[in-house]
Every structure is written in C-alpha cells, then in structure tokens.
Amino acid sequence: MEKSEVLIIGGGPAGCSAAAKLHQLGIESTIVERCTFPRFVIGESLLPRCMDHLEAIGALELVEQAGFQFKNGARFILDDKIADIDFSEKSTQGFDSTFQVKRTEFDTMIADHVQKMGIDIHFNAGVEAVELKEDTQITTYRKNGEQHQIESKFIIDASGYGRVLPRLLDLIEESSLDPKSAYFTHIKSEKLWNYIDEQKVNYIIGPLNQYVWIIPFADKSVSIGVVGDSSLFPDQAEESTFKKTLYMVPELVELLDTFEYVMPPKLIKGFSTSVSKYYGENYVMVGNTTEFLDPIFSSGVTIAMESGILGAKLAARQLKGETVDWKIEYEGYMKKGVAVFQNFVESWYTGDLIKIFFAENQTDSLKRYICSILAGYVWDEENPFVKKHQRGLQAMAKLVS
Ligand code: FAD
C-alpha cells in the first residue's frame, strides 16, 4: 500500500498551501485531487492578506510576475453613487494590493509550484472512503476506474465544496446565514469595462437585497455574478434566464444590451455551509470544507490559505510529538476571523454596512478600520471591528445615518 506521512484531500489553494507549509517544516505529504488541472472554480478576487500567504509558501514572486489583473480595492455602486475602498488606507500593516485571477490559471500555478517542491499530486483521483484509526489512517480513492489506498498518519481535508470528511463523518451543519444563490459567468463587454474601475472588485447594489459582482481580468473579460435569495433564481443555468436575472438590476439593462459569453453561465444554489467541528484526533479540515459565507468581500481564498497554512503548522507540531490544543489554536483562531467576516456579511444584508460605506460623515479612522477588514486583516486585535465587531457596526451605522 502507498504510504505518506500526511494525506491531503484536494489540490485547491487550501490543500496546496498546506502541502507547501508541511514541506517547509520537513513533513512529507501527498495530495489526492479529484479533477485534472486546469479546472474551473469560482472565487477570483483575492484579498491583500492572501499575499502574505503566497509569500509564506514561496509563491509570491511567481504570482506577481504572472500578469494577473492588479487589484487595489473595492468599488460599491448604489444608483448614481459610488463608494470606493482603497486598500492603501487600511489601519493594519501589510499588503496594499493583490490580484484578480482566473482560478484555472491561478490554481494550476500554485499546484505546479507545489509539485516543483517535490510534493506528489495524484490528479483525477477522487477520495471515496476514509478509515480513521489511532495511528494510521487509510484513504481510499478511485483513479481511472480502479480503487487505490494510501496509509498516512494524519489527514488534511481540503476538498472544498466536495466536503469529504464532513459528509463521511456526518459533520455538515446548516449555515446560520439565510440561504442565498449565485448565478455567474465570464463575459466580454466594452461598455461594461468602461463603466467599472478595472483595478477594483466592483459591486452594484440591486433591489431585493441582490448584488452583482464584476471582477475584471487582465484580458479585458470580466467575471460577473448575481447573488440573491435562492427563491429569485431558476433551477437550471441557461443563457436566457441568466440575462433575465442580470436585468433585475436596472443599471445592467442598458450596460449589457449586448455582450459576448466567454463561458456558459453557472448556478450555485444555497452556497453557505458550516460544520459542527473543524478537527478530530488525526485530521483537520481546512478551507471551504469547513465554512463558506458569501462572495461579498471575497474572503474565500484568504480563509482557505490561512487555514491551510495554520492546519499544516499544527499538524507538523503534533507529528513531531508536541501537544496541540486544536480547539483553541486552530478552531478558535479560524472562527475568530470568520466571525468578523460573518458580521460584515450580515451587516451588508441588514443595510448597516451599506449606510456606512456611503456616509458622508465617515471619519478617517473609521475608514481605515473598515478598509483593513476588507483587505482580509481580520485577526488584527488593534482594530475595534475585530474586537467588538458585533456591536461596532450597528452603532456606527446609527451614528452616521
Ligand atoms: P477549492 O478551491 O474548491 O478546492 C478543493 C479541491 O478539492 C478541488 O480542486 C476539488 O476538485 C477537490 N476535491 C473535491 N472533492 C474531492 C474528492 N472527493 N477527492 C479528491 N479531491 C476532491 N473567494 C474569494 O476569495 N474571492 C471571490 O471573489 C470569491 N467568489 C465566490 C463566489 C461564489 C459564488 C462562491 C460560491 C464562492 C466564492 N469564493 C470566493 C470562495 C472560493 O470559491 C472558495 O473559498 C475557495 O475556492 C476555497 O478554496 P479551497 O482550496 O478550500 O477549495
């Protein structure tokens, strides 16, 4: 039977960052990945905090030189008003910019980087079963129709929407957020390109609590998606229903009277999920396997890489014989950051955050603190919205309105 000290399920940003970090710490791992790369995944707007992660796994220069679309902030559009967030105004020290990436290219680049480090990735290999024991874990995967097994001491589940361990161990929980869906594609439209800020992720705030994201890419195509209550969306993705859904946002009717599809539209219904716990005795779940909140604020890849790197560091310590308090050092830490984003997502939908973004009497310090969160620096205890996030936003919305 094949053996590896750590077995990682999934070769997305979470799995690859975990493998790279383990390698740096002298621990050998193998990644088992269901797809062959390049493969499409949604989640194209990165946050500056991601640049710290890329640096930590030795991939920063690679990504900086790849020609991805430069990103320096976020633009929110409400009727004829614009609110811009510029990451260079953030209160936390760190990167002021990042990139918007086609994940087919970005994820392949990171996977190649990891392979060059000497880490084995089995592509086209879907994990089907896991047997958890005290000292050895047996993972069964299928490749080209045949079953194979790998023995490892520890498992990192980075299977994202595949949610391998949450399904096998019955850990899936409903998210506390309202069920929302997203309908998206990549298009080319000169009119839309001229309307947006190409160095930002752009959001148009629509009626019925809907919003549209527009993420510009270096080749002048854009990722465009509508997010809203699941009840407003059809059951199947088709070009005709996609256009109809986009046109619920009045600005887009004229802006997108003609456009060219780069790929067929895709639909994800009820994207938010959660799990009852993040770890077990000899396994940890990282990235989207645990939680996904909402595309607003682009937190997904940042959380995936933060958790992949932290999960790997703690696994390495445990494998070297140290005691790890997974509840505090992993789940507690990750949940702290997720809670800051979750509060922002909830305040977005109650309208509090939108009031703050568009308020004319914003102080410089308020702007800097909010900017830090939107840049992904959600563990900076110096930021009052990290420490007292629940009360902070409500009170601030009242104050500015
Ligand atoms: P993934 O990138 O999903 O990688 C998991 C890997 O595991 C996949 O390659 C998959 O093939 C593999 N896998 C699955 N099952 C198995 C199996 N059984 N065996 C082996 N391998 C398996 N995030 C952002 O940062 N910015 C955004 O703008 C953004 N927009 C989003 C918009 C929408 C509509 C949604 C739903 C999400 C968005 N996200 C965004 C979130 C982002 O998609 C994820 O957070 C991110 O991809 C998580 O990375 P990951 O490595 O955990 O999982």
Ligand 1: which atom is nearest the Cα of residue 32?
A: 20
CA distance 227 to 269: 10
The helix (run of H) or strand (run of E) holding residue 359 is: none
Ligand 1: which atom is nearest the Cα of residue 50?
A: 25
Task: List helix spans (H) across 147-287.
Answer: 164-168, 190-195, 239-246, 251-255
> To the nearest whole percent, how much of the chain has pLDDT over 90?
88
Note the pTM of the prediction, 2 decimals.
Answer: 0.97
Pairing of strands 222-229, 172-174: unpaired
Residues 6+ apart with CB under 8 A from 171: 165, 275, 276, 277, 285
Residues 6+ apart with CB under 8 A from 6: 22, 27, 28, 29, 30, 152, 153, 154, 155, 156, 315, 319
In this structure, the residue with its CA closest to atom 35 of ligand 1 is 295
Q: What is the pLDDT of residue 389?
A: 66
In this structure, the residue with its CA closest to atom 3 of ligand 1 is 160
The 10 Å Cβ neighbour count of residue 368 is: 14
For the chain, the average pLDDT equals: 95
Task: Write the pLDDT tens digit of every residue in 80-112.
Answer: 999 999 999 999 999 999 999 999 999 999 999
Q: What is the pLDDT of residue 353?
A: 94
Contact in structure between 284 and 278 (CB atoms under 8 Å): yes
Ligand 1 centroid, distance to 223 Cα (angstroms): 16
Specify the DSSP class assigned to residue 136. Answer: -
CA distance 383 to 372: 8
Q: What is the pLDDT of residue 145?
A: 95
390 has a pLDDT exceeding 70? no
Which protein residues touch ligand 1 with a CB less than 6 Å away?
Answer: 9-15, 32-35, 41-46, 126-127, 158-162, 164, 182, 184, 225, 268, 271, 287-288, 292, 295, 298, 300-302, 304
CA distance 50 to 335: 18
In this structure, the residue with its CA closest to atom 40 of ligand 1 is 43
